[in-house]
């Protein structure tokens, strides 16, 4: 599964620190503390191999109408663990912790707690998207990748306040909160969707799809008793297998080991005025844009990745959903229009980036030209900023 024990423990610990900082005047008791710690510890145990890739890229390819979510699986895993190991735990704590885990999901359950609803916003916040999960991975990944981050979650944890059963923030912290969302978006652009990262991800997804019938990977994602066995080691299992039915999957993994990756050809950002009606571009769209040439492309020669990067609220400003207070003597909460803070803040909050790859190095030039043709046919111009590097195009002669 996708998260380390240390990461999950930090989520639990930071949730506990938030409860401590919010103060005893809110009536926070041992039940609340245990519930938030449990939700922080377990809310991501439902992630499959390679985290979101399993959920968002692999399963939709092999399961028609897939509605699988790691939050739902986290809840199933909790029930499985408790029942399998005869764990004695307060049923009310368990029920509320599971509700907290599902709080940010699209179809979260009705919350059983009628008071202290703000507790549901600590671990996985569906209301404002500010939660300890982001505090953890933004700091962790920025440090691990050597990227400086001006976001200071400690400042928010020390100054946040509950007003009308909602976690609110000092008006002075507006830019700190903007930095939270901006840093997250920057990580997506520079790390999570880096061209080589996406190349490997596309190859892993293809390998899992090839291996799915033999290893029943998607089926294992339905039952906790099988799902707990499913982790990143699935690639080693494929790689070391002698099964002829796993040959294509095995070849792809060996290519990854040798850094013989799908070749990045180019990318473009979808124009703002086209975003609302944008439909994902497919390999078929690319090959249909090919003009006559020495190579006739097939769908299996092309890989396309469309990535969405936003500040957590689509094309809207996520700070519009946050309430602020002036100072600790104030009893009024309010929202802040961003133009009252700075005219340097963005006016648009989402990118969709289309990245195209040739699955074989010798096809880079043909795929790159077809991709350029597609842009001209669709938008009347080349939307990409840079030309495909000449050295990549030249590889077909090697």
Kindly list the catalytic residues: 70
CA 300, CA 289: separation in Å to the nearest integer? 15
Q: Specify the DSSP element, H or E, that contains 106.
A: none
Backbone angles phi, psi at 52, to 5 degrees: -65, -20
In angstroms, rounded to a whole number, what is the distance separating the alpha carbons of residues 156 and 366? Answer: 51
Tokens of 189: 């652009």
Instruction: Kindly state the DSSP code that residue 61 receives in the 8-state scheme.
Output: H
Of 388, 360, 361, the closest CA to residue 268 belongs to: 388
Query: CA dist 104 to 17, 69, 157, 168, 317, Å?
Result: 21, 11, 20, 18, 18
- Specify the length of the chain in residues: 398
For 25, 145, 170, 229, the CA distances from 28, given in Å and listed in that order, are 8, 37, 21, 37
Helices (H), the chain: 5-22, 30-42, 52-53, 59-62, 70-84, 91-102, 132-144, 153-159, 174-187, 195-215, 217-220, 224-227, 234-239, 247-257, 283-287, 364-379, 390-393
Nearest-10 Cα torsion for 216, 222, 225, 226 = 20
């Amino acid at each position: 599964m996708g998260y380390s024990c240390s990461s999950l423990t930090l989520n639990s610990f930071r949730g506990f620190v938030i409860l401590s900082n919010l103060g005893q005047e809110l009536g926070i008791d041992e039940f609340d503390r245990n519930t938030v710690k449990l939700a922080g510890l377990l809310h991501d145990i439902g992630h499959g191999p390679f985290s979101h890739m399993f959920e968002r890229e692999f399963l939709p390819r092999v399961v028609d109408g897939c509605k699988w979510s790691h939050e739902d699986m986290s809840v199933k895993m909790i029930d499985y663990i408790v029942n399998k190991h005869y764990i004695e735990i307060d049923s009310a704590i368990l029920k509320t912790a599971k509700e907290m885990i599902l709080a940010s999901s699209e179809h979260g359950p009705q919350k059983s707690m009628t008071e202290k609803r703000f507790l549901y916003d600590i671990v996985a916040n569906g209301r404002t998207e500010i939660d300890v999960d982001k505090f953890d991975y933004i700091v962790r990944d920025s440090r691990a990748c050597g990227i400086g981050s001006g976001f200071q979650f400690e400042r928010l944890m020390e100054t946040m306040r509950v007003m009308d059963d909602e976690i609110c923030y000092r008006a002075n912290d507006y830019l700190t909160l903007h930095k939270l969302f901006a840093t997250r978006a920057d990580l997506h652009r520079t790390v999570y969707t880096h061209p080589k990262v996406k190349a490997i991800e596309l190859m892993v997804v293809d390998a899992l799809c090839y291996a799915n019938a033999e290893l029943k990977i998607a089926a294992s994602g339905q039952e906790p008793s099988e799902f707990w066995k499913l982790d990143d080691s699935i690639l080693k299992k494929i790689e070391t297998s002698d099964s002829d039915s796993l040959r294509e999957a095995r070849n792809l993994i060996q290519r990854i080991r040798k850094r013989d990756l799908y070749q990045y050809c180019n990318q473009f950002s979808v124009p703002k005025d086209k975003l609302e009606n944008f439909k994902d571009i497919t390999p078929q769209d690319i090959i249909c844009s090919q003009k006559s040439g020495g190579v006739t492309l097939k769908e299996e020669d092309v890989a396309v990745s469309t990535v969405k990067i936003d500040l957590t609220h689509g094309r809207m400003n996520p700070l519009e959903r946050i309430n602020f207070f002036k100072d600790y003597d104030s009893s009024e909460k309010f929202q802040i229009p961003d133009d009252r803070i700075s005219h340097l803040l963005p006016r648009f909050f989402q990118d969709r980036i289309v990245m195209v790859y040739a699955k074989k190095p010798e096809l880079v030039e043909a795929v790159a030209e077809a991709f350029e043709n597609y842009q001209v046919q669709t938008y009347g111009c080349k939307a990409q900023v840079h030309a495909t590097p000449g050295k990549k195009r030249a590889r077909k002669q090697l």
